[in-house]
Amino acid sequence: MSAADFSSLCALHRATTARLGPLPALRFKRDRLWQHLTWDEYRQAADDAAAGLVAVGLKAGDRVALLAENRCEWLVADHAILSAGAVDVPIHAPASPAQVRYQLAHSGARGIVVSDTAQLQKVAAVLEGLPELRFVVGFDPVDPLPPGWGGRTLSWAGLCQAGRRAGLQGRQAVAQREADLGPDSLATIIYTSGTTGEPKGVMLSHGNLLSNSAAAQDVFQFGCAEVMLSWLPYSHVFARCVDHYATTRMGTTLALAESPLTLLENLREIQPMGFTSVPRPLEKVWAQLRALPAPARAAAARDLLGARLDYLCSGGAPLPVPVAAGLREAGVPVFEGYGLTETSPIIAVNRRDRWKVGTVGPPIAGIEVQIAPDGELLTRGPHVMRGYWHDPAATAAVLHDGWLRTGDLGALDGDGFLSITGRKKDLIITASGKNIAPALLEGLLVADPFIEQAVVYGDARPFVAAIIAPRPDRLAAAAQEAGTSLPTAEGVVRDPRLSAWFQRRVDDLMAAVSPPERVKRILLLSRPFSAEQGEVTVTHKVRRGVIVRRYHAELDALYHGHAR
């Protein structure tokens, strides 16, 4: 099946339901037991909720936000919103009230679906700044919002009951809304993670997501007898397209992990054929495997990840080459890919029959990529967004004649494999004029078993420095080897012996690059970067600007009196 086989994501879901009705579509854990929803039940629940949305006054083209952790109702609600002819606005579950207010107000959302009281309280805290909001729906029972706000608070069960009460008229209304949709119809507005400045609302159409889910189907090649485990947030386009829509295309059963913390436990329970991931959990898996003798690693990997694993796709951030190579040698079928929210998201990905460690694979079928004279990667095709919501200036800055400026620096080798060498805006130009891509150096640094994260710094400086966040579980061992005590306060490590011990390890790692590229000085922290501190995004991308601003004074001090 290709993207052209369906007019909308709704048509795709209905086609799979007609083909596989009584087979399990979703698996999820409730009361410590795995349960399932068949394709027929999945579609019926979405139809009830869609008719309920129409009954409460939702108009075609209205925006409805989703603020919830991963759960099967999230997936049902997404289909319901689309079937009602509306546009879904997913908000990351850890978002602050201020972030929730910005995205609701900027998108002009008419309604929001929340998971529970904790998420509802975020909305309640900023309600006065949301004059267009008209209804709130809670998956779990929630208390009504304060009277006088001008809208309604409903339960999920109540919304679905309202849809059932609408009867034939409700079903006909939903059918007409779906019939009016086409590939160019707006499906979702996904706000970027905002590594710099306010997030932008990326507009993706039904056609964008249909084309990209078709590409994912070609890569995964699973069928209705297989199970895929899902744990990445559905508010992010990677899981939304691959885990959600591509499994619908393939008819693959989607099993929802209980949480990121139970990923390994759920992998052992489900024994899936595949799953998608960001690098951080894979780095932790490799850290466990690396500690074992090489001959024992393959068996240990099967114990950790399941014996049936056939395809593990890593995206969202660069996968360090030593981690990718080590996992492959241990028999873990990990394939790195690359994409952006603005490209629905996949641009390139390694496949079973075409892969190279250290690359993000060849571009997917049906799209174009080229490298601009300044090294920036450009792409054009059905995967490219419609633009940024209510931001024509930002749209014009990245879209030219259908080509999207990705902002990433890349290279294509003679075999057509794409490598990402860094962010154009993150490129470091030292005081001597040397151009340095931080991603390469940071990949070398985090390959060290004692280093959790790293941010390289040195624009307009005489040499390159780095902020190093150590692995918490190895910090005590590092302190012991350095002949000192474990830091007791969070923040910058002031102990010169511990800093010098890490500096020696960094010096050894830097032998792999030329002298001008080497990290000459480090700022050592006593804790990893965290989402709570605003230092990483929901997909664990490091927010470089936030971290550099936070430690700017300490970084300045690294250069005083040093001309290395």
Question: What are the pLDDT digits (tens) for 430-472?
Answer: 877 777 888 889 988 998 999 999 999 998 889 999 999 999 9
* pLDDT (mean) for 55-62: 98
Domain membership flag for residue 12: yes
Instruction: Provide CB contacts within 8 A for 526, sequence distance 6+.
Output: 470, 475, 487, 489, 490, 491, 492, 493
In a domain? residue 28: yes
Looking at the structure of the chain, the number of domains it has is: 3
Does 247 share its domain with 172?
no
Q: What is the pLDDT of residues 334-369, one digit of tens each?
A: 999 999 999 999 999 999 999 999 999 999 999 999
Report the pLDDT value the prediction gives residue 433, as an integer from 0 to 100.
Answer: 73
* Alpha carbon distance 85, 99 (integer Å): 26
Evaluate whether residue 383 is within a structural domain.
no
CATH code for position 239: 3.40.50.12780
pLDDT digits (tens, 9 = 90+) for 183-211: 999 999 999 865 446 789 999 999 999 99
User: What percent of the chain has a predicted confidence (pLDDT) above 90?
Assistant: 81
Distance CA(427)–CA(323), nearest Å, equals: 24
Q: How many whole angstroms separate alpha carbon 349 and alpha carbon 364?
A: 7
Task: Name residue, tokens 């436990």.
Answer: 265
Give the pLDDT score at 434.
Answer: 76
Domain boundary among 205, 227, 256: 205
Please tell me whether residues 200 and 334 are part of one structural domain.
Answer: no
pLDDT at position 372 is: 96
Same domain for 433 and 420, yes or no, is no
Range 15-23 average pLDDT: 98
Residue 561 pLDDT:
59
Answer yes or no: is 384 within a domain: no
288/299 Cα distance (integer angstroms): 12
Q: Do residues 461 and 537 share a domain? A: yes
CB-facing half-sphere around the CA of 361: CA atoms within 13 A:
25
CB-based contact 283:295 (threshold 8 Å):
no
- Beta strand 346-349 with 311-314: parallel, antiparallel or unpaired? unpaired
7 and 55 assigned to the same domain: yes
* pLDDT for residue 342: 97
Q: What is the CA radius of gyration of the chain?
A: 24
Q: Would you call 69 exposed, middle or buried from its count of C-beta atoms within 10 A (0-12, 13-18, 19+)? A: middle
392 domain residue, yes or no: no
> Using 50, 70 and 90 to split pLDDT, how confident is the model at 371?
very high
Question: Shortest CA distance to 72 belongs to which of 36, 99, 103, 108?
Answer: 36
Pairing mode of beta strands 24-30, 33-38: antiparallel
Cis peptide before 146 (omega within 30 of 0): no
- Please state, in angstroms and rounded to a whole number, the distance separating the CA atoms of residues 111 and 136: 6
Residue 149, domain member (yes or no): yes
Q: How large is the average pLDDT for residues 484-502?
A: 92
Q: Which residue among 151, 184, 205 closes a domain? A: 205
* Domain of 107, in residue numbers: 3-205
Write the secondary structure of 276-321 as one string of H (helix), E (strand) and C (coil).
Answer: EECHHHHHHHHHHHHCCCHHHHHHHHHHHHCCCCCEEEECCCCCCH
- Beta carbons within 10 angstroms of residue 549's beta carbon: 10
* Integer CA distances (angstroms), 45 to 55, 81, 212, in order: 15, 12, 25
**Is the predicted pLDDT of residue 563 greater than 90, yes or no?**
no
Confidence of residue 408 (pLDDT cuts 50, 70, 90): very high
Lowest mean pLDDT among 102-106, 252-256, 421-425, 524-528: 421-425
Q: What is the pLDDT of residue 562?
A: 57
Element (H, E) at 18: helix 9-20
Give yes or no for a contact between 381 and 368, defined as CB atoms under 8 angstroms apart.
yes
How much is the average pLDDT of 9-17?
98
Q: Tens of pLDDT along 76-116?
A: 999 999 999 999 999 999 888 988 999 999 999 999 999 99
Asked if the structure places residue 244 within a domain, the reply is yes
CATH code, 520 = 3.30.300.30
Instruction: Tell me the two tokens of residue 471.
Output: 């692995």
Question: Would you say 378 and 409 are in contact if contact means Cβ atoms under 8 Å apart?
Answer: no
Asked whether residue 385 is domain-assigned, the answer is no
State residue 100's pLDDT score.
94
Paired tokens of 533? 């501190």
Residue 426: the pLDDT is: 82
The answer on 480 and 444 residing in a single domain is: yes
Residue 195 has a pLDDT of 46
Mean pLDDT of 541-549: 88
Indicate if 457 and 350 belong to the same structural domain.
no
Residues near 107 by beta carbon (within 8 Å), at least 6 away in sequence: 63, 65, 89, 189, 201, 389
Tokens of 111: 């309604």
> Cα 153 vs. chain centroid, distance in angstroms?
30
The reply to whether 241 and 193 lie within a common domain is no
In terms of Cα–Cα distance, which of 154, 98, 159 is closest to 123?
Answer: 98
Q: Are residues 487 and 409 in the same domain?
A: no
Structure tokens that stand for 450 in this block = 């004692």
- Report pTM: 0.86
Residues 356 and 306 in one domain: yes
pLDDT per position as a tens digit, 124-180: 999 998 999 999 999 999 999 988 888 999 999 999 999 999 999 999 999 999 999
Q: How many helices (H) and strands (E) does the chain have?
A: 20, 26
pLDDT, average across residues 4-21: 95
pLDDT at 443: 86
Verify that 372 and 436 share a domain, yes or no.
Answer: no
CA angle 555, 557, 562 (to 5 degrees): 110
Sign, Cα dihedral of 195, 207, 70, 345:
negative
Convert the pLDDT of each residue in 282-302 to its tens digit: 988 998 999 999 999 999 999
pLDDT band at 259 (very low <50, low <70, confident <90, very high): very high
Domain boundary among 177, 205, 233: 205
Whole-number Cα distances in Å, 321 to 5, 358, 543: 38, 5, 21
Q: What is the pLDDT of residue 300?
A: 97
C-alpha–C-alpha distance, residues 457 and 552, integer Å: 10
- Domain match, 417 and 454 both: no
Rounded to the nearest angstrom, the gap between the alpha carbon of residue 1 and the centroid of all alpha carbons in its chain is 26
